[in-house]
């Protein structure tokens, strides 16, 4: 059986969901991002997989979604004023960038 790991960020809420091959969620974990995503995501991922006695090699795909107002998928820039950015309550640029890089690198590694 293969699994998909979804990284989903809404504002300051980070959620990891483990989906089976039929797309059903079999486990999840969530926490509040305090601008420390890169420090927390791998231990949280390891713990989530460990609860199901799975290894990273059980994953077929990592998907990522973030409600960042800064960029859309594949780097299309969104024109925002400073008022828009300060009042959005959405995930920040560094959080978006970290999640995007983690998912892209992990997907590359899983294909190797």
Q: Please give the domain boundaries of the chain with CATH numbers for all domains.
A: 3-111 (3.30.420.40)
The pLDDT score that the predictor gives to residue 30 is 97
Do the beta carbons of residue 61 and residue 107 sit within 8 Å?
Answer: yes
The answer on pLDDT for 42 being more than 70 is yes
Tens-place pLDDT, residues 43-100: 999 999 999 999 999 999 999 998 876 655 444 545 555 544 444 567 777 888 899 9
User: pTM for the complete prediction?
Assistant: 0.81
- Say what the alpha-carbon torsion angle 61, 29, 31, 87 is, to the nearest 10 degrees: 60
């Amino acid at each position: 059986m293969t699994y998909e790991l979804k990284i989903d960020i809404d504002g300051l809420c980070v959620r990891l969901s483990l989906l089976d091959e039929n797309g059903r969620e079999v486990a999840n974990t969530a926490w509040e991002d305090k601008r420390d995503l890169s420090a927390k995501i791998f231990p949280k991922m390891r713990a989530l997989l460990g609860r199901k006695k799975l290894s990273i090699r059980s994953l077929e795909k990592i998907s990522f979604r973030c409600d960042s107002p800064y960029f859309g998928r594949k780097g299309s820039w969104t024109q925002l004023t400073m008022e828009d950015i300060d009042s959005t309550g959405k995930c920040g640029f560094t959080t978006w960038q970290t999640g995007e890089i983690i998912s892209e690198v992990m997907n590359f590694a899983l294909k190797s």
